[in-house]
Amino acid sequence: MEIGTVVAQVVLENIYKSFSGRQGEPVAPVAAEPWLTPLGNSGTTATKDKAKRSHATSVLRAINLTIADGEFMVLVGPSGCGKSTLLRLIAGLEELTGGNIYVGDRLVNELPPKERDIAMVFQNYALYPHMTVYENLAFGLRRTKVGSQQSAVSGQRSAVSSQRSAVSSQQSAALTQNSTLKTQNSLTSHLSPHSSLPIWAENLLIETTRKLPKGLRFRSERERSIDQQVRSVAQILQIEPLLNRLPKQLSGGQKQRVALGRAMARNPQVFLMDEPLSNLDAKLRAETRSQIVKLQRQLGTTTIYVTHDQTEAMTMGDRIAVMNAGQIQQIASPLELYNRPANRFVAEFIGSPPMNFLAVQFKAPLLLTHPQFRLTLPEVWADVLKPYDGQTLTLGIRPEHFNISAAAPKNLPVQVELVEALGSETYLALSLVDASVETALLQARIEPDRPVRIGEQLWLSHTPDKIHLFDHEGWAITPKSLT
């Protein structure tokens, strides 16, 4: 069996989703942050008016996203931002309020989940506890009556729907004609492919003889094809020794690989993964994360992966869509998000520890002032900052871009409040010295061999070409040379 040869792009077009509230329950207010303006089209007036009139909670608004063939797209955001709801809409487990979803060349809005050619991996594995690993992998194949038929037509799944229907009709006609010549009775329409037995009789024989020695088990052509698919997937995932075990005999990482295998066995056009690593410990999470990335590259299957962990997002995705309050804030590659965040939310969410923010006053042409320091910006900022003369801006500095330095007007005077020594690096929580207004603690990452004591006063310098500036609405200000 050839796995992962069939891929499809996924297009989300102006997606809206609302959940009905209880009678008398007011409509939930839209988040007030100005940077929550959605990317892409703003949506149809009819959809918006309908949402306003109803007693409903809007969880997704104006989602526009295209996932390319074979791409690994990560949806990341805080809990409650709508990322899992969006995944369930793609899978067909939730009903759209507005918009369109395309998988390949098909509009799938009205299609049930089983007809979307999508496989989903859930957070809680969803394995049948009374079935062995082998039976869990084979269950979906038997339910959909695939086996040898799937491998025969999988190479044609990217053809248009009319071609697929024609092939299906030809196969059905040939099967009916062959069965009529053989039996000429009322069981004809229920015959299994490659067998003169009805499917119900075939399944009965399979179940009855399943626990017998291999040589005595009933094996139809369909079952042999399913067995080939299951063992091929087990070999790829290195779970062949586990095939006869029950789920209760597996570790968390092994269960997750079985769940992935069950999705792979169906050879879908699209994988959907909803926080599949959140139940694993840190070491196992890192191992499984690399296995999923390697597997996806090997198969080349279009994958949409949901997580709230920005480390997973940065290390796994070809591109990342950052979500907040039901809207996409930015879509970019991992390093693009890190180096050029579109707004303050993305800047704070991507990176660990998060970016530090300080309110500063801008004075043309290049001066930033703060009660504790003064900073002259590089020349590349001159043109883009002209409209902001005299305004208050937000200065953003990542913890890794601070350095312990000597006292100077451009450096920040701070006091150490907390030291977190991790061996490979040390994190400091710092407060500004003599701050007239109470501000959040600053975070700095320093080299591990630098001794620091709680209560010690330090001066922090920073890398001038690594700073970020945001306007009063939270949008990033970026020099043209850096865009």
On whether residue 168 sits in a domain, the answer given is no
On whether residue 179 sits in a domain, the answer given is no
Give the range among 21-25, 41-45, 80-84, 220-224 with minimum mean pLDDT.
41-45
Same domain, 30 and 92: yes
Q: Greater confidence, 447 or 50?
A: 447
On whether residue 254 sits in a domain, the answer given is yes
On whether residue 224 sits in a domain, the answer given is yes
Sheet harboring 106-107: ordered strands across? 56-67, 10-20, 98-103, 106-107
On whether residue 335 sits in a domain, the answer given is no
Q: What is the pLDDT of residue 385?
A: 94
Same domain, 362 and 376: yes
pLDDT band for position 418 (cuts 50, 70, 90) = very high
The mean pLDDT of 470-479, rounded to a whole number, is 95
Q: What is the pLDDT of residue 111?
A: 94
Q: What is the pLDDT of residue 107?
A: 96
Residues pairing with 320 in the sheet? 74, 332
Residue 326 has pLDDT above 90, yes or no: yes
Residue 225 is inside which H or E element, if any? helix 221-237
Closest by CA position to 73, among listed 308, 279, 321? 321
Same domain, 149 and 77: no
Residue 362 has pLDDT above 60, yes or no: yes
pLDDT band for position 236 (cuts 50, 70, 90) = confident
Give the range among 130-144, 292-306, 357-371 with minimum mean pLDDT.
130-144
Same domain, 142 and 130: yes
Q: Measured between alpha carbons, how far is 459 from 481 in angstroms, rounded to an integer?
A: 30
The mean pLDDT of 400-420, rounded to a whole number, is 92
pLDDT band for position 227 (cuts 50, 70, 90) = confident
Please write the tens of the pLDDT for every residue from 157-192: 444 344 444 434 444 444 444 444 333 333 333 444
Closest by CA position to 85, among listed 64, 58, 55, 125? 58
pLDDT band for position 19 (cuts 50, 70, 90) = confident
Q: Greater confidence, 50 or 352?
A: 352
DSSP state of 198: B
Q: What is the pLDDT of residue 437?
A: 65
pLDDT band for position 257 (cuts 50, 70, 90) = confident
Q: Measured between alpha carbons, how far is 177 from 183 in angstroms, rounded to an integer?
A: 10
Q: Is 164 helix (H, G, I), strand (E, B) or coil?
A: helix
Q: What is the pLDDT of residue 97?
A: 94
Q: What is the pLDDT of residue 325?
A: 93
Same domain, 242 and 214: yes
Distances (CA, A) of 276 to 324, 380, 412: 20, 44, 42
What residues contact residue 34 under an 8 Å CB cut-off, 6+ apart? 473, 474, 475
User: Last residue of some domain: 249, 267, 285?
Assistant: 267
Q: Is 76 helix (H, G, I), strand (E, B) or coil?
A: strand
Q: At 420, which CATH number?
A: 2.40.50.140
Residue 140 has pLDDT above 70, yes or no: yes
Q: What is the pLDDT of residue 65?
A: 97
Q: Measured between alpha carbons, how far is 53 from 43 in angstroms, rounded to an integer?
A: 16
Residue 148 is inside which H or E element, if any? helix 148-153
Total structural domains in the chain?
A: 3
Residue 311 is inside which H or E element, if any? helix 310-316
Ranges of beta strands (E only) in 68-103 are 72-76, 98-103
The mean pLDDT of 43-63, rounded to a whole number, is 62
On whether residue 175 sits in a domain, the answer given is no
Same domain, 43 and 113: yes
Same domain, 140 and 242: yes
Question: To 10 degrees, what angle do helices 282-299 and 252-265 make?
Answer: 20
On whether residue 296 sits in a domain, the answer given is yes
Same domain, 259 and 284: no
Please write the tens of the pLDDT for every residue from 74-98: 999 999 999 999 999 999 999 999 9
Give the range among 14-23, 77-86, 350-359, 442-451 with minimum mean pLDDT.
14-23
pLDDT band for position 252 (cuts 50, 70, 90) = confident
Distances (CA, A) of 164 to 2, 157, 158, 364: 19, 7, 9, 65
On whether residue 2 sits in a domain, the answer given is no
Same domain, 48 and 61: yes
Q: At 325, which CATH number?
A: 3.40.50.300
* Complete DSSP assignment for 393-431: EEEEE-GGGEEEE---TTSEEEEEEEEEE-SS-EEEEEE
Q: Greater confidence, 342 or 216?
A: 342
Global confidence as pTM:
0.78
Same domain, 131 and 261: yes
Q: Measured between alpha carbons, how far is 344 from 342 in angstroms, rounded to an integer?
A: 7
% of the chain at pLDDT higher than 90: 49
pLDDT band for position 42 (cuts 50, 70, 90) = very low
What residues contact residue 363 under an 8 Å CB cut-off, 6+ apart? 369, 389, 390
User: Last residue of some domain: 221, 243, 267?
Assistant: 267
Closest by CA position to 54, among listed 87, 16, 91? 16
Please write the tens of the pLDDT for every residue from 98-139: 999 999 999 999 999 989 999 998 878 788 999 999 999 988
Residue 58 near residue 28 (C-beta atoms within 8 A): yes
Please write the tens of the pLDDT for every residue from 364-393: 999 999 988 999 999 999 999 999 999 999
Same domain, 262 and 358: no
Q: Which domain holds residue 242?
A: 126-158+188-267
Q: What is the pLDDT of residue 167?
A: 38
Same domain, 19 and 35: yes
Residue 349 near residue 327 (C-beta atoms within 8 A): no
Q: What is the pLDDT of residue 209?
A: 81
Q: What is the pLDDT of residue 195?
A: 53
Q: What is the pLDDT of residue 436?
A: 67
Sheet harboring 412-421: ordered strands across? 402-405, 457-462, 412-421, 426-432, 442-446
* Chain centroid to CA 250: 26
Instruction: Provide the CB-side half-sphere exposure for 237 (13 A, CA).
Output: 31
Distances (CA, A) of 356 to 162, 388, 409, 422: 56, 21, 19, 20
Q: Is 96 helix (H, G, I), strand (E, B) or coil?
A: coil
Q: Greater confidence, 52 or 285?
A: 285
Q: What is the pLDDT of residue 206?
A: 75
Question: Which contacts of 274-277 are long-range, i.e. CB under 8 A and separated by 24 or more positions?
Answer: 274/84, 274/87, 274/88, 274/120, 274/121, 274/122, 274/123, 274/306, 275/84, 275/123, 275/306, 275/307, 275/308, 276/121, 276/122, 276/123, 276/305, 277/307, 277/309, 277/312
Q: What is the pLDDT of residue 260?
A: 87
As given in the structure block, the two tokens for residue 53 are: 């009139």
Residue 324 has pLDDT above 90, yes or no: yes
Residue 476 is inside which H or E element, if any? strand 476-477
The mean pLDDT of 286-310, rounded to a whole number, is 90
The mean pLDDT of 47-57, rounded to a whole number, is 54
Q: Measured between alpha carbons, how far is 271 from 276 in angstroms, rounded to an integer?
A: 12
User: Last residue of some domain: 226, 246, 267?
Assistant: 267
Q: What is the pLDDT of residue 221?
A: 79
Q: What is the pLDDT of residue 468?
A: 96
The mean pLDDT of 341-365, rounded to a whole number, is 94
